[in-house]
Amino acid sequence: MRAVDCIRKKRDGGELSDGEIGAMVRGLSTGEAADYQWAALLMAIYWNGMTDAETISLTNHMARSGIVVDLSSIPGVKIDKHSTGGVGDKTSLILAPIAAAAGILVPMVSGRGLGHTGGTLDKLESIPGFRVDLDLAAYRSTLRDQGLVMIGQTAEIAPADRILYALRDATATVESIPLITASILSKKYAEGIEGLVLDVKTGLGAFMKGLDDSRRLAESMRSIGNGLGLKVRVLITRMDQPLGRGVGNALEIAEAIACLRGEGPADLVDLSVELAAEMVLMGGVSKTVEAARERCLATIADGTAVARFRSMVKAQGGDPAAIDDPNLLPQAKFTYEVKSPRTGFVSGLNAESIGRGTMLLGAGRERVDSTINHATGVILDCKMGDRVEAGDALCTIHADSRGESFDAAVELIASAYDFAETAPEIPRLLVEKF
């Protein structure tokens, strides 16, 4: 197998064998497949796609470029959840302790935010002392002792994915369904899980804005996950406006804690419980989704969910007092209210504009090497469907400095709001699940 022959085969629409794909992935570390050869192959895949068999091979070889963790010595069903990324989406922080309190083991390897979407690791790091860089031994022991663990991708987890993702980012080959599928599932498969609940976002603030694309990605993830022997359940959910009210790292941690205490906004609580219920159902803890939902809601009502979150935070070096008193989380220097320019109903609240605006406040990364300000962000006082009077506060910006970036952020965040005379119809968050 020569790398150039694999590239030519894919360029000409052929199907690569498992042996060829394995050699290309191994070649990344041996040098037999240079990064420029992979770049050409990625562009050929962008054009010609991959069959399910090819995508399963790619995912498998990417996972096996590092350690596929064996969690079988820890009793219990291990199930994770993955979202394709949204704005204000802090469901992982809510559903993981709920599912853990309901009897599922939740080993979660998460990522950082980039562009307009946030990342679970950045949010967690706004809790003073919280460590996401546990090694695999600590990952296993925390999962065994706490029932959940939340870490970043270690050097041992799918190293080929890190190389290929950086290459895709630099070569305009990110937007390819088989490549997205392989990137996500290689990491999830390497975690040592048995099942995965996927939240595929669709809409203005999603990576895949159109429903057809979202559905194709969802179907690909399910087929490939099943091909790897994973149970997979997919929910396609709307990401037109941000989820919940807080956007920004510490603000989202505070909101997640509120949800775990039963004090969260309905959209966020409902979706988190729905995803957790699918994990509980998949794990066989409940027999029906209704029973699973009840069981999840009970963990909020009886305080076991928030307790589980607190003990996980403590086990990972974080200050558990911050869970009881969110004022201990990083606080921005000042707040600024964006006023409504008119009277009427909020008919639109563009999630991408809110995401980009908070990025300008320092809450997100413009580039991979940007640093994050954990305190900044926005609280959405009004969301779609809310009635407002001219001059009412639409949202409250939490910022650390004034200047050009702040002004641009305010403008972008204000522009996210659209208005109408009459109350708009708000589509259901859950589009479909399968």
Please list the active-site residues.
82, 161, 168, 183, 187
Name the residue among 196, 130, 178, 182 with its Cα closest to residue 329. 130
40 contributes a contact to a second copy by CB under 8 A: yes
Choices 133-141, 167-175, 287-295, 310-318; region in contact with a second copy by CB under 8 A:
167-175
> How many of the chain's residues bind a second copy (CB under 8 A)?
24
176 contributes a contact to a second copy by CB under 8 A: no
Which residue of 16, 25, 28, 38 would you call a contact of a second copy, by CB under 8 A? Answer: 38
213 contributes a contact to a second copy by CB under 8 A: no
CB of 213 to a second copy, least distance (A): 15
Radius of gyration of the chain (CA): 22
Choices 38-46, 150-158, 216-224, 307-315; region in contact with a second copy by CB under 8 A:
38-46
Name the residue among 335, 329, 333 with its Cα closest to residue 397. 335
Nearer to a second copy, 6 or 269 (CB): 6
Nearer to a second copy, 170 or 390 (CB): 170
- 8 Å CB contact between 46 and 167: no
User: Is the Cα dihedral 380, 364, 414, 328 positive or negative?
Assistant: positive
170 contributes a contact to a second copy by CB under 8 A: yes
173 contributes a contact to a second copy by CB under 8 A: yes
- 8 Å CB contact between 230 and 107: no
35 contributes a contact to a second copy by CB under 8 A: yes
Q: What Cα–Cα distance (Å) separates residue 313 from each residue in 86, 250, 270, 308?
A: 23, 14, 23, 9
Q: Can you tell me the distance from the alpha carbon of 331 to that of 160, in angstroms, rounded to the nearest whole number?
A: 38
Contacts of 303 (CB under 8 A, 6+ apart): none
Which residue of 21, 23, 25, 44 would you call a contact of a second copy, by CB under 8 A? Answer: 44
CB of 145 to a second copy, least distance (A): 43
Q: Can you tell me the distance from the alpha carbon of 156 to that of 322, in angstroms, rounded to the nearest whole number?
A: 31
User: Is the Cα dihedral 252, 256, 258, 262 positive or negative?
Assistant: positive
172 contributes a contact to a second copy by CB under 8 A: yes
37 contributes a contact to a second copy by CB under 8 A: yes
Which residues of this chain interact with a second copy, rule CB under 8 A?
Answer: 3-5, 7-8, 11, 34-40, 42-44, 46-47, 167, 169-173
